[in-house]
Amino acid sequence: MKPGKVSKVVLAYSGGLDTSVILKWLQDVYGCEVVTFTADIGQGEELAPARRKALKLGIQAKNIFIEDLREEFVRDFVFPMFRANAVYEGEYLLGTSIARPLIAKNMIKVARRTGADAISHGATGKGNDQVRFELGAYALMPDVKIIAPWREWDLLSRDKLLAYARRHGIPVEYKRKQGGAPYSMDANLLHISYEGGVLEDPDYAPEESMWRITVSPEKAPQRPEHVELEYRRGDIVAVNGRKLSPARVLAELNRLGGKHGVGRLDIVENRYVGMKSRGCYETPGGTIMLRAHRAIESITLDREVLALKDDLMPRYARLIYNGYWFSPERRLLQTLIDASQASVNGKVRVKLYKGTVLVTGRKSKDSLFDPRIATFDDDRGAYNQADAAGFIRLNALRLRIAARKGRR
Protein backbone atom coordinates (compact mmCIF):
# COMPACT_ATOMS: atom_id res chain seq x y z
CA MET A 1 0.00 0.00 0.00
CA LYS A 2 1.28 3.45 -0.86
CA PRO A 3 1.49 5.93 2.03
CA GLY A 4 -1.07 8.73 2.04
CA LYS A 5 -4.07 6.63 1.08
CA VAL A 6 -5.46 6.27 4.61
CA SER A 7 -7.40 8.80 6.67
CA LYS A 8 -7.84 6.92 9.96
CA VAL A 9 -6.37 3.63 11.13
CA VAL A 10 -7.14 1.34 14.08
CA LEU A 11 -3.92 -0.07 15.52
CA ALA A 12 -3.81 -3.26 17.58
CA TYR A 13 -1.83 -1.72 20.41
CA SER A 14 -0.13 -3.33 23.39
CA GLY A 15 2.05 -0.45 24.52
CA GLY A 16 5.20 -2.52 23.98
CA LEU A 17 8.18 -1.73 21.82
CA ASP A 18 6.83 -2.89 18.46
CA THR A 19 3.39 -1.30 18.56
CA SER A 20 4.68 1.93 20.14
CA VAL A 21 7.09 2.33 17.25
CA ILE A 22 4.33 1.42 14.80
CA LEU A 23 2.08 4.11 16.26
CA LYS A 24 4.66 6.84 15.60
CA TRP A 25 5.59 5.34 12.24
CA LEU A 26 1.94 5.44 11.10
CA GLN A 27 1.71 9.09 12.04
CA ASP A 28 4.92 9.96 10.19
CA VAL A 29 4.66 7.76 7.11
CA TYR A 30 0.93 7.71 6.48
CA GLY A 31 0.08 11.06 8.05
CA CYS A 32 -3.18 9.60 9.28
CA GLU A 33 -5.20 9.75 12.48
CA VAL A 34 -4.44 6.77 14.71
CA VAL A 35 -6.93 4.97 16.95
CA THR A 36 -5.46 2.48 19.41
CA PHE A 37 -7.23 -0.73 20.38
CA THR A 38 -6.01 -2.82 23.31
CA ALA A 39 -7.70 -6.11 24.23
CA ASP A 40 -7.63 -7.73 27.64
CA ILE A 41 -7.81 -11.43 26.83
CA GLY A 42 -6.19 -12.56 30.05
CA GLN A 43 -2.56 -11.85 29.19
CA GLY A 44 -1.96 -10.87 32.80
CA GLU A 45 -0.59 -7.40 32.08
CA GLU A 46 -1.68 -4.09 33.49
CA LEU A 47 -3.37 -2.22 30.63
CA ALA A 48 -3.42 1.28 32.13
CA PRO A 49 0.20 1.94 30.98
CA ALA A 50 -0.91 1.37 27.38
CA ARG A 51 -3.43 4.18 27.74
CA ARG A 52 -0.87 6.53 29.29
CA LYS A 53 1.69 5.75 26.61
CA ALA A 54 -0.84 6.35 23.81
CA LEU A 55 -1.70 9.72 25.34
CA LYS A 56 2.00 10.65 25.48
CA LEU A 57 2.31 9.80 21.81
CA GLY A 58 -0.43 12.26 20.94
CA ILE A 59 -3.46 10.01 20.69
CA GLN A 60 -6.68 11.71 21.73
CA ALA A 61 -8.48 10.15 24.66
CA LYS A 62 -11.54 9.52 22.49
CA ASN A 63 -9.36 7.44 20.16
CA ILE A 64 -8.06 5.07 22.84
CA PHE A 65 -10.06 1.86 23.26
CA ILE A 66 -9.27 -0.73 25.93
CA GLU A 67 -11.73 -3.60 26.12
CA ASP A 68 -12.05 -6.49 28.59
CA LEU A 69 -12.74 -9.43 26.27
CA ARG A 70 -11.96 -12.30 28.63
CA GLU A 71 -15.50 -13.64 28.90
CA GLU A 72 -16.17 -13.25 25.19
CA PHE A 73 -12.87 -14.94 24.42
CA VAL A 74 -13.64 -18.08 26.39
CA ARG A 75 -17.41 -18.21 25.80
CA ASP A 76 -17.48 -17.52 22.05
CA PHE A 77 -14.08 -18.76 20.88
CA VAL A 78 -12.31 -21.13 23.29
CA PHE A 79 -15.36 -23.15 24.35
CA PRO A 80 -16.66 -23.70 20.77
CA MET A 81 -13.17 -24.84 19.74
CA PHE A 82 -12.95 -27.32 22.61
CA ARG A 83 -16.35 -28.77 21.72
CA ALA A 84 -14.54 -29.97 18.59
CA ASN A 85 -11.55 -31.34 20.57
CA ALA A 86 -9.41 -29.30 18.18
CA VAL A 87 -5.69 -30.08 18.14
CA TYR A 88 -3.33 -28.91 15.39
CA GLU A 89 -0.85 -31.49 14.09
CA GLY A 90 -1.61 -33.80 16.96
CA GLU A 91 -0.30 -31.57 19.76
CA TYR A 92 -0.92 -27.81 19.58
CA LEU A 93 -4.05 -26.56 21.37
CA LEU A 94 -4.26 -23.40 19.24
CA GLY A 95 -3.88 -20.87 22.04
CA THR A 96 -2.57 -18.05 19.86
CA SER A 97 -4.62 -18.96 16.79
CA ILE A 98 -8.01 -18.73 18.52
CA ALA A 99 -7.32 -15.27 19.98
CA ARG A 100 -6.64 -13.56 16.65
CA PRO A 101 -10.18 -13.64 15.21
CA LEU A 102 -11.51 -12.15 18.44
CA ILE A 103 -9.05 -9.26 18.20
CA ALA A 104 -9.81 -8.77 14.49
CA LYS A 105 -13.54 -8.75 15.20
CA ASN A 106 -13.24 -6.04 17.82
CA MET A 107 -10.79 -3.98 15.76
CA ILE A 108 -13.40 -3.88 13.01
CA LYS A 109 -16.06 -2.87 15.56
CA VAL A 110 -13.86 0.04 16.61
CA ALA A 111 -13.15 0.93 12.97
CA ARG A 112 -16.86 1.15 12.20
CA ARG A 113 -17.52 3.08 15.40
CA THR A 114 -14.81 5.67 14.68
CA GLY A 115 -15.15 5.81 10.91
CA ALA A 116 -11.68 4.39 10.31
CA ASP A 117 -10.89 3.04 6.85
CA ALA A 118 -7.87 0.93 7.82
CA ILE A 119 -6.45 -1.34 10.49
CA SER A 120 -2.83 -2.03 11.39
CA HIS A 121 -1.10 -4.79 13.34
CA GLY A 122 2.37 -5.72 14.55
CA ALA A 123 2.55 -9.22 13.07
CA THR A 124 5.63 -9.96 10.99
CA GLY A 125 5.66 -10.99 7.34
CA LYS A 126 6.96 -14.43 8.27
CA GLY A 127 4.30 -15.60 10.68
CA ASN A 128 0.73 -16.87 10.82
CA ASP A 129 -0.74 -13.93 12.73
CA GLN A 130 -0.68 -11.57 9.75
CA VAL A 131 -2.90 -14.05 7.91
CA ARG A 132 -5.24 -14.54 10.86
CA PHE A 133 -5.72 -10.83 11.53
CA GLU A 134 -6.25 -9.94 7.91
CA LEU A 135 -8.52 -12.82 6.91
CA GLY A 136 -10.70 -11.95 9.89
CA ALA A 137 -10.74 -8.27 9.01
CA TYR A 138 -11.60 -8.84 5.35
CA ALA A 139 -14.37 -11.28 6.29
CA LEU A 140 -16.02 -8.64 8.48
CA MET A 141 -15.19 -5.46 6.52
CA PRO A 142 -14.42 -6.39 2.90
CA ASP A 143 -13.08 -3.00 1.83
CA VAL A 144 -10.91 -2.32 4.87
CA LYS A 145 -7.33 -1.26 4.16
CA ILE A 146 -4.53 -3.13 5.88
CA ILE A 147 -1.24 -1.63 7.01
CA ALA A 148 1.34 -4.23 8.03
CA PRO A 149 4.51 -2.26 8.89
CA TRP A 150 6.73 -5.33 9.10
CA ARG A 151 6.06 -5.90 5.39
CA GLU A 152 6.92 -2.29 4.54
CA TRP A 153 9.63 -0.80 6.76
CA ASP A 154 13.33 -1.55 7.18
CA LEU A 155 13.24 -1.74 10.99
CA LEU A 156 13.88 -5.46 10.92
CA SER A 157 15.68 -5.91 14.24
CA ARG A 158 15.14 -5.02 17.89
CA ASP A 159 18.19 -2.75 17.79
CA LYS A 160 16.73 -0.77 14.87
CA LEU A 161 13.39 -0.49 16.65
CA LEU A 162 15.09 0.79 19.81
CA ALA A 163 17.12 3.30 17.81
CA TYR A 164 13.93 4.57 16.14
CA ALA A 165 12.25 4.87 19.53
CA ARG A 166 15.16 6.90 20.93
CA ARG A 167 15.21 9.24 17.92
CA HIS A 168 11.50 9.96 18.27
CA GLY A 169 11.31 10.09 22.06
CA ILE A 170 9.07 7.03 22.31
CA PRO A 171 8.95 5.74 25.90
CA VAL A 172 9.62 2.00 25.82
CA GLU A 173 10.82 -0.59 28.27
CA TYR A 174 12.82 -3.35 26.69
CA LYS A 175 15.24 -5.29 28.81
CA ARG A 176 17.06 -8.39 27.69
CA LYS A 177 18.05 -10.62 30.55
CA GLN A 178 21.81 -10.74 30.99
CA GLY A 179 22.95 -14.32 30.48
CA GLY A 180 19.37 -15.45 29.79
CA ALA A 181 17.53 -16.40 26.65
CA PRO A 182 15.43 -13.77 24.86
CA TYR A 183 12.01 -15.07 23.90
CA SER A 184 9.10 -13.69 21.97
CA MET A 185 6.09 -14.29 24.22
CA ASP A 186 2.37 -14.20 23.57
CA ALA A 187 -0.05 -14.71 26.43
CA ASN A 188 -3.79 -14.98 26.89
CA LEU A 189 -6.20 -16.79 29.17
CA LEU A 190 -5.72 -20.06 27.27
CA HIS A 191 -1.93 -20.20 27.04
CA ILE A 192 1.51 -18.63 26.88
CA SER A 193 3.72 -19.21 23.84
CA TYR A 194 7.49 -18.78 23.57
CA GLU A 195 9.30 -18.42 20.26
CA GLY A 196 12.43 -16.89 18.77
CA GLY A 197 15.90 -16.29 20.14
CA VAL A 198 17.72 -19.46 21.10
CA LEU A 199 14.48 -21.40 20.64
CA GLU A 200 15.08 -21.11 16.90
CA ASP A 201 17.48 -24.01 17.40
CA PRO A 202 15.07 -26.98 17.68
CA ASP A 203 17.74 -28.92 19.58
CA TYR A 204 18.07 -26.29 22.33
CA ALA A 205 16.45 -27.22 25.64
CA PRO A 206 14.92 -24.12 27.24
CA GLU A 207 15.93 -23.30 30.78
CA GLU A 208 13.42 -23.91 33.55
CA SER A 209 13.07 -20.17 34.22
CA MET A 210 11.33 -19.69 30.85
CA TRP A 211 8.10 -21.30 32.00
CA ARG A 212 5.75 -18.81 33.67
CA ILE A 213 2.49 -20.46 34.73
CA THR A 214 3.40 -24.11 35.31
CA VAL A 215 5.77 -25.59 37.85
CA SER A 216 8.20 -28.25 36.75
CA PRO A 217 6.52 -31.67 37.03
CA GLU A 218 9.49 -32.77 39.15
CA LYS A 219 8.71 -29.99 41.64
CA ALA A 220 4.94 -30.42 41.58
CA PRO A 221 3.18 -31.60 44.76
CA GLN A 222 3.84 -35.16 45.88
CA ARG A 223 0.12 -35.74 46.39
CA PRO A 224 -2.32 -35.81 43.46
CA GLU A 225 -5.35 -33.52 43.36
CA HIS A 226 -8.80 -34.63 42.22
CA VAL A 227 -10.97 -32.18 40.29
CA GLU A 228 -14.61 -32.57 39.27
CA LEU A 229 -15.90 -30.80 36.17
CA GLU A 230 -19.58 -30.41 35.34
CA TYR A 231 -20.62 -30.18 31.68
CA ARG A 232 -23.70 -28.77 30.03
CA ARG A 233 -24.04 -29.09 26.24
CA GLY A 234 -20.30 -29.67 25.93
CA ASP A 235 -19.15 -26.70 28.01
CA ILE A 236 -17.83 -26.69 31.58
CA VAL A 237 -20.20 -24.85 33.91
CA ALA A 238 -18.78 -25.79 37.32
CA VAL A 239 -15.46 -26.79 38.88
CA ASN A 240 -15.58 -28.84 42.08
CA GLY A 241 -19.26 -28.04 42.45
CA ARG A 242 -18.77 -24.28 42.13
CA LYS A 243 -20.65 -22.58 39.28
CA LEU A 244 -18.30 -20.32 37.33
CA SER A 245 -18.41 -18.10 34.25
CA PRO A 246 -16.47 -19.34 31.19
CA ALA A 247 -13.46 -17.09 31.85
CA ARG A 248 -13.37 -18.05 35.53
CA VAL A 249 -13.57 -21.74 34.62
CA LEU A 250 -10.47 -21.44 32.49
CA ALA A 251 -8.64 -19.29 35.04
CA GLU A 252 -9.33 -21.85 37.77
CA LEU A 253 -8.20 -24.75 35.60
CA ASN A 254 -5.04 -22.83 34.73
CA ARG A 255 -4.36 -22.42 38.44
CA LEU A 256 -4.95 -26.08 39.21
CA GLY A 257 -3.09 -27.39 36.20
CA GLY A 258 -0.17 -25.02 36.63
CA LYS A 259 0.21 -26.05 40.25
CA HIS A 260 0.67 -29.67 39.13
CA GLY A 261 2.92 -29.05 36.12
CA VAL A 262 0.23 -29.83 33.54
CA GLY A 263 0.24 -28.49 29.99
CA ARG A 264 3.85 -27.93 28.89
CA LEU A 265 4.61 -28.50 25.21
CA ASP A 266 7.71 -28.14 23.02
CA ILE A 267 7.02 -28.71 19.31
CA VAL A 268 8.03 -27.90 15.76
CA GLU A 269 4.94 -26.96 13.77
CA ASN A 270 4.22 -26.15 10.14
CA ARG A 271 3.24 -22.53 9.64
CA TYR A 272 0.60 -21.68 7.05
CA VAL A 273 3.10 -19.49 5.18
CA GLY A 274 5.22 -22.56 4.48
CA MET A 275 8.07 -22.74 6.99
CA LYS A 276 8.60 -24.85 10.06
CA SER A 277 8.67 -23.09 13.42
CA ARG A 278 9.66 -24.22 16.90
CA GLY A 279 7.43 -23.12 19.75
CA CYS A 280 7.05 -23.85 23.44
CA TYR A 281 3.63 -23.59 25.03
CA GLU A 282 1.98 -23.66 28.45
CA THR A 283 -1.71 -24.60 28.30
CA PRO A 284 -2.60 -26.06 31.70
CA GLY A 285 -6.33 -25.37 31.70
CA GLY A 286 -6.77 -26.33 28.06
CA THR A 287 -4.98 -29.64 28.59
CA ILE A 288 -7.42 -30.53 31.38
CA MET A 289 -10.39 -29.40 29.30
CA LEU A 290 -9.44 -31.54 26.31
CA ARG A 291 -8.95 -34.70 28.36
CA ALA A 292 -12.17 -34.21 30.34
CA HIS A 293 -14.27 -33.31 27.30
CA ARG A 294 -13.27 -36.46 25.49
CA ALA A 295 -14.17 -38.40 28.63
CA ILE A 296 -17.71 -37.01 28.88
CA GLU A 297 -18.22 -37.52 25.14
CA SER A 298 -17.10 -41.15 25.48
CA ILE A 299 -20.27 -42.03 27.39
CA THR A 300 -22.75 -39.58 25.84
CA LEU A 301 -22.07 -39.71 22.08
CA ASP A 302 -22.84 -42.46 19.60
CA ARG A 303 -19.82 -44.33 18.22
CA GLU A 304 -20.26 -43.07 14.66
CA VAL A 305 -20.88 -39.48 15.78
CA LEU A 306 -17.60 -39.63 17.71
CA ALA A 307 -15.84 -41.09 14.67
CA LEU A 308 -17.23 -38.38 12.40
CA LYS A 309 -16.12 -35.67 14.83
CA ASP A 310 -12.64 -37.21 14.96
CA ASP A 311 -12.52 -37.33 11.16
CA LEU A 312 -13.48 -33.67 10.87
CA MET A 313 -11.36 -32.39 13.76
CA PRO A 314 -8.01 -32.05 11.89
CA ARG A 315 -9.72 -30.01 9.16
CA TYR A 316 -11.43 -27.84 11.77
CA ALA A 317 -8.12 -27.33 13.62
CA ARG A 318 -6.35 -26.32 10.40
CA LEU A 319 -9.08 -23.78 9.66
CA ILE A 320 -8.45 -22.13 13.03
CA TYR A 321 -4.67 -22.35 12.76
CA ASN A 322 -4.71 -20.84 9.27
CA GLY A 323 -7.06 -17.99 10.17
CA TYR A 324 -10.40 -19.08 8.72
CA TRP A 325 -12.55 -18.66 11.83
CA PHE A 326 -15.07 -16.49 9.96
CA SER A 327 -15.16 -18.71 6.86
CA PRO A 328 -18.40 -20.41 5.77
CA GLU A 329 -16.77 -23.84 6.08
CA ARG A 330 -15.77 -23.28 9.72
CA ARG A 331 -19.25 -22.00 10.55
CA LEU A 332 -20.77 -25.05 8.85
CA LEU A 333 -18.56 -27.42 10.82
CA GLN A 334 -19.37 -25.53 14.02
CA THR A 335 -23.09 -26.01 13.45
CA LEU A 336 -22.59 -29.75 13.17
CA ILE A 337 -20.26 -29.88 16.18
CA ASP A 338 -22.59 -27.82 18.36
CA ALA A 339 -25.56 -30.02 17.41
CA SER A 340 -23.59 -33.06 18.60
CA GLN A 341 -23.19 -31.51 22.05
CA ALA A 342 -26.87 -31.52 23.05
CA SER A 343 -26.37 -34.71 25.06
CA VAL A 344 -22.86 -33.92 26.33
CA ASN A 345 -23.96 -33.31 29.90
CA GLY A 346 -22.67 -34.71 33.16
CA LYS A 347 -19.61 -34.80 35.38
CA VAL A 348 -16.00 -35.88 34.92
CA ARG A 349 -13.37 -36.47 37.60
CA VAL A 350 -9.70 -36.06 36.79
CA LYS A 351 -6.56 -36.61 38.82
CA LEU A 352 -3.72 -34.09 38.42
CA TYR A 353 -0.30 -35.41 39.30
CA LYS A 354 3.16 -34.28 38.23
CA GLY A 355 2.32 -33.13 34.72
CA THR A 356 -0.37 -35.73 34.03
CA VAL A 357 -4.15 -35.61 33.74
CA LEU A 358 -5.83 -38.96 34.42
CA VAL A 359 -9.59 -39.40 34.08
CA THR A 360 -10.85 -41.31 37.12
CA GLY A 361 -14.62 -41.13 36.59
CA ARG A 362 -17.43 -39.92 34.36
CA LYS A 363 -21.23 -40.00 34.73
CA SER A 364 -24.22 -38.58 32.90
CA LYS A 365 -27.99 -38.88 32.78
CA ASP A 366 -27.51 -38.95 29.01
CA SER A 367 -25.01 -41.82 29.14
CA LEU A 368 -25.19 -44.50 26.45
CA PHE A 369 -23.14 -46.86 28.60
CA ASP A 370 -25.40 -49.76 29.58
CA PRO A 371 -23.81 -51.89 32.33
CA ARG A 372 -26.41 -54.64 31.82
CA ILE A 373 -25.07 -55.21 28.32
CA ALA A 374 -21.39 -54.39 28.93
CA THR A 375 -20.96 -56.66 31.96
CA PHE A 376 -18.70 -59.72 31.81
CA ASP A 377 -21.01 -61.42 34.31
CA ASP A 378 -24.40 -62.96 33.60
CA ASP A 379 -26.39 -60.32 31.69
CA ARG A 380 -29.69 -62.22 32.08
CA GLY A 381 -30.29 -62.28 28.33
CA ALA A 382 -29.63 -58.58 27.64
CA TYR A 383 -27.13 -59.56 24.97
CA ASN A 384 -27.17 -62.75 22.91
CA GLN A 385 -23.53 -63.69 22.37
CA ALA A 386 -24.49 -66.11 19.61
CA ASP A 387 -25.41 -63.10 17.44
CA ALA A 388 -21.70 -62.26 17.19
CA ALA A 389 -21.02 -65.26 14.91
CA GLY A 390 -23.16 -63.91 12.06
CA PHE A 391 -21.82 -60.40 12.59
CA ILE A 392 -18.24 -61.66 12.26
CA ARG A 393 -18.93 -63.85 9.23
CA LEU A 394 -20.61 -60.99 7.34
CA ASN A 395 -17.71 -58.66 8.09
CA ALA A 396 -15.26 -61.37 7.04
CA LEU A 397 -17.02 -62.02 3.72
CA ARG A 398 -14.84 -59.77 1.58
CA LEU A 399 -11.71 -61.09 3.30
CA ARG A 400 -12.71 -64.71 2.61
CA ILE A 401 -13.53 -63.96 -1.05
CA ALA A 402 -10.12 -62.32 -1.52
CA ALA A 403 -8.38 -65.19 0.20
CA ARG A 404 -10.01 -67.70 -2.15
CA LYS A 405 -8.59 -65.72 -5.07
CA GLY A 406 -5.14 -66.00 -3.54
CA ARG A 407 -4.97 -62.38 -2.43
CA ARG A 408 -3.44 -61.51 0.90
Q: Is 217 exposed, middle or buried (0-12, 13-18, 19+ CB in 10 A)?
A: middle
Residue 366: CA count within 13 A, CB half-sphere:
18
Residues near 9 by Cβ (< 8 Å), separated by ≥ 6?
26, 30, 32, 33, 34, 35, 116, 117, 118, 119, 120, 145, 147
Q: Which residue type sits at 182? A: P
User: What DSSP assignment string belongs to 204-243?
Assistant: PPPPGGG--SS--GGGS-SS-EEEEEEEETTEEEEETTEE
- Residue 320 to residue 91: CA distance in whole angstroms: 14
Which amino acid, one-letter code, is at 390? Answer: G
What is the distance between the alpha carbons of residues 94 and 85, in angstroms, rounded to a whole number?
A: 11
What residues does 351 pair with on adjacent strands? 226, 358
CA–CA separation, 264 and 211 (whole Å):
8
| Whether the Cβ atoms of residue 161 and residue 21 lie closer than 8 Å to each other | yes
- DSSP labels for 309-342? HHHHHHHHHHHHHHT-TTSHHHHHHHHHHHHHGG
264 in Cβ contact with 215 (< 8 Å): no
- Whole-Å CA distances, 118 to 105, 111, 148, 257: 13, 7, 11, 40
Residue 156 CA to residue 56 CA, distance in Å, equals 25
Closest CA to 186 of 198, 195, 199: 195
So which residues are the catalytic ones? 18, 100, 129, 184
Residue 364's closest CA among 382, 381, 386, 349?
A: 349
Tell me which amino acid residue 42 is: G
